[in-house]
Structure formats: structure tokens, C-alpha cells
Amino acid sequence: MASVNSQTLTWNRVYSSQLPESVGNGIQTFDGGYVVLATRFGSVGAGLLLLKLDRFGNEEWSKIVDSTSTGFRIRQSKDSCFIVSGNNNGYGLLMKTNSTGDIIWRRLFLINNEYTIVSSVRIIESGNFVICGSVSFPRKAFVLMTDEKGNEIWQRIFTSPQLEAYP
């Protein structure tokens, strides 16, 4: 017989929109609250959405930060800004916003002139970013390092029969 322990539910919220949304990622912020990265689909009001919550899940603000991008991962940098990875019309996306979601910079990457998705981002001790993702046709994985302003330092592409067979 198996035994499972779980935490008590602290709070539960539903944040509604008239447009369909897909949540990419959410993190706890330095102030004890949360920020959720989502993509809102549709025509007017669609795009990459940041939803900032307090520690109780109450909405502090929400903002479409980029009307043409899809977001996958979000991180908070030492200066309390947000780093977002994703896709923008076939280009890999790396973006930095301030703590209220205003864009500081946005970088687009096209690896080998192929459709590029940046699926993950990590901030390393130096303040640089390591991003991972894939290019397609045939599918290949890549790792890319940028400086703290999103400028490419180096990249590596990996290929294998298993990656190429992935749909």
C-alpha cells in the first residue's frame, strides 16, 4: 500500500479572459508574489502576456508585452527584471522587461536559417544567459550563450537520429 502526503491548498484563483490563453511558465518573484507567462490567442489583445500576482494570488497587473510572440519560460534577474524565452514568427526570442513588464530589449535568433524556438533560459552567475531550444527540418537541439544584454557569445548545435525523428 502506498502513502501520499500533500500540502494544504493555500489559495486558488481563476484569471479569466475573453480570448483563449496558454500558460508557458510561472515563477515566484523576489517580493514573494508570482509572475505568470502566457500567450493569448486571437486578433485584438493577443500576444505574450505577463500576469503579476501578489503573494495571495491577487492580480497586481497584467500586460501584453509583445503582440507577435509566444512565450515558453520566464526568469527573474538580480535587478528584479524579467527574462522571457519563446518564439516570434519562426525566430527564437529572448526578451528582458523591467519589473512592470516594459520591454528593455528584445533579441531574435535564427539558427542555421531555420525555424527556431527558444524553449528555456537560465541566468548564470556572471549575469549571462544560457538558452536552449530547437531548430526544425530536420529537428536539431541548440545551446546558445548571450551576455547580459542578449548579445550572442557562442552557440552549439546538436543533432542525432532521435531528434530528427521527433515530430
Residues 83-100 pLDDT 10s: 999 999 999 999 999 999
Q: What percentage of residues in the chain have a pLDDT greater than 90?
A: 65
Higher pLDDT, 14 or 74: 74
Give the pTM: 0.84
Domain 21-165, architecture per CATH: 6 Propeller (2.120)
C-alpha atoms less than 13 angstroms from C-alpha of 155 in its C-beta half-sphere = 20
DSSP 161: H
Question: SS3 of 45, please?
Answer: coil
Say whether pLDDT at 145 is over 90: yes
The distance in angstroms from the start CA to the end CA of the chain is: 39
**Cβ atoms of residues 94 and 84 within 8 Å:** yes
Per-residue pLDDT tens digits for 3-62: 666 667 676 766 666 555 667 789 999 999 999 998 888 777 778 999 999 999 999 999
**Cβ atoms of residues 102 and 61 within 8 Å:** no
CB atoms within 10 A of CB 152: 13
Query: Which triple of cell numbers denotes residue 40?
Result: 493569448
